[in-house]
Amino acid sequence: MKIAVDAMGGDQAPQVVVAGVEQARDLYPELEFDLYGDPQQVTPLIQDSTRLKIVPTSEIIEMGEEPVRAIRKKKDSSIVQAATAVKEGRADAFFSAGNTGAILAAGLLIVGRIKGIDRPGLTSILPVTQPGSDQTRFVYLDTGANAESKTKNLLQYAIMGKFYAENVLKVANPRVALLNNGAEEDKGDSFHKEVHQMLKQSADLNFVGNVEAGDLLYGKADVIVSDGWTANAALKATEGTAKMFMNLIKDGVKQGGWRALLGAWLLKPALKRIKNQMSTSTYGGAVLLGLKAPVVKTHGSSDAEAIKNTIVQIKQMIDVNLIDQTVDYFSADQSREKLDN
């Protein structure tokens, strides 16, 4: 089992990437890694080179670059080379903490789509933060691979999200919901009304109806599907508000004098639990579902621990044959469609 790693992607690359990969390597004797990057930078960081090989690359795609152009021009970049290794069967999965758009483009244009899937969906595993709930996380897609979607894309996201919840998160008969502007069946614009009916009529889904953006983290479903535009807006608003709250508390403590300082010190364990509960890095990165191999991107600000968790997530996907299951479903789906016509 070999993972192609972009060693140069992320705010603290290659340091934290190498450190995280070494942690994961020590956990799983069956894992091998190819680190794509600048040998001069990467080599000195490696503590132990067991099951760990450097593949030299001479270019880096920076965070601000226009993705598709960068992929086409920088043929010897760590992202393009690592994705190419997966395409050619020299690795089983591709991982990066770099430029999201470039990773998406490399996944789509180099690794390639599963037959029968029109658009891959960027999939985040998000926390459920409802006090008292047993559920700790849910699957949320498409969080932004596609700004414009067709109704059938969302049906495909629902199936792919269901496979992920079932196999990787081990949820039996996962509840699938649609992000919409109201809970009732007749809510939404014409697009979302149509998607609602498609999801409801699918015999392969345990569809539980609509969920509103305000209830995203409340554990109302195991999989929440949406067009990439809306899911992205709701996710960013959620993350932005959470960050803002943390800033307001910090600022409030600063302005509140000794009383607030002491209060914050006493509340520290409780606030830390909240921060951990809200943290997404425990669950790994965002997976581009619908490709011929696992392609996973983590936050650019990930630390070694988050990198390690993402490798664990990739290993789980490979262990349960997530891709093969998806391929089987959609090739059967295509045969059904042919019979229908």
Is 242 a residue that touches its own copies (CB under 8 A)? Answer: yes
Structure letter (DSSP) for residue 169: S
Chain length of the chain: 341
- Interatomic CA distance for residues 326 and 164, integer angstroms: 9
Dihedral in degrees, nearest 10, Cα atoms 191, 193, 198, 202: 140
Quick one: which of 93, 117, 165, 234 contacts its own copies (CB under 8 A)?
234
How near is the Cβ of 228 to its own copies at its closest, in Å?
A: 9
Q: Which two tokens stand for residue 218?
A: 């409340």
- Is residue 98 within 8 A of residue 286, CB to CB? The reply is no
The region of 201-209, 259-267, 283-291, 332-340 touching its own copies under the rule CB under 8 A is 259-267
Is 332 a residue that touches its own copies (CB under 8 A)? Answer: no
Site for its own copies in 145-164 (CB under 8 A): 147-148
Q: Which residue matches tokens 């691979």?
A: 145
Quick one: which of 188, 209, 290, 294 contacts its own copies (CB under 8 A)?
188
- Is residue 310 within 8 A of residue 304, CB to CB? The reply is no
Question: CA nearest 206: which of 177, 186, 185?
Answer: 177
| First and final C-alpha spacing in the chain | 40
Is 216 a residue that touches its own copies (CB under 8 A)? Answer: yes
Quick one: which of 41, 43, 206, 238 contacts its own copies (CB under 8 A)?
238
Is 270 a residue that touches its own copies (CB under 8 A)? Answer: yes
Quick one: which of 46, 264, 312, 327 contacts its own copies (CB under 8 A)?
264
- Interatomic CA distance for residues 37 and 55, integer angstroms: 6
How near is the Cβ of 242 to its own copies at its closest, in Å?
A: 6
CA angle 61, 113, 126 (to 5 degrees): 70
Is 217 a residue that touches its own copies (CB under 8 A)? Answer: yes
Q: Which one, 44 or 269, has the nearer CB to its own copies?
A: 269
How near is the Cβ of 286 to its own copies at its closest, in Å?
A: 15
- Is residue 298 within 8 A of residue 286, CB to CB? The reply is yes
Q: How many residues make contact with its own copies (CB under 8 A)? A: 59
Is 32 a residue that touches its own copies (CB under 8 A)? Answer: no
Is 274 a residue that touches its own copies (CB under 8 A)? Answer: yes
Quick one: which of 48, 88, 134, 189 contacts its own copies (CB under 8 A)?
189
Site for its own copies in 44-83 (CB under 8 A): none
Is 195 a residue that touches its own copies (CB under 8 A)? Answer: no
Is 236 a residue that touches its own copies (CB under 8 A)? Answer: yes
Kindly provide the residue ranges of all beta strands, DSSP E only, lying in the chain, ordered along the sequence.
2-6, 32-37, 52-56, 93-96, 121-127, 137-141, 175-179, 206-211, 223-225, 286-289, 295-297
Interface residues with its own copies (CB under 8 A) are: 129-132, 144, 147-148, 179, 181, 188-190, 212-218, 229-230, 232-245, 247-249, 251-253, 255-256, 259-260, 262-271, 273-274, 277-278
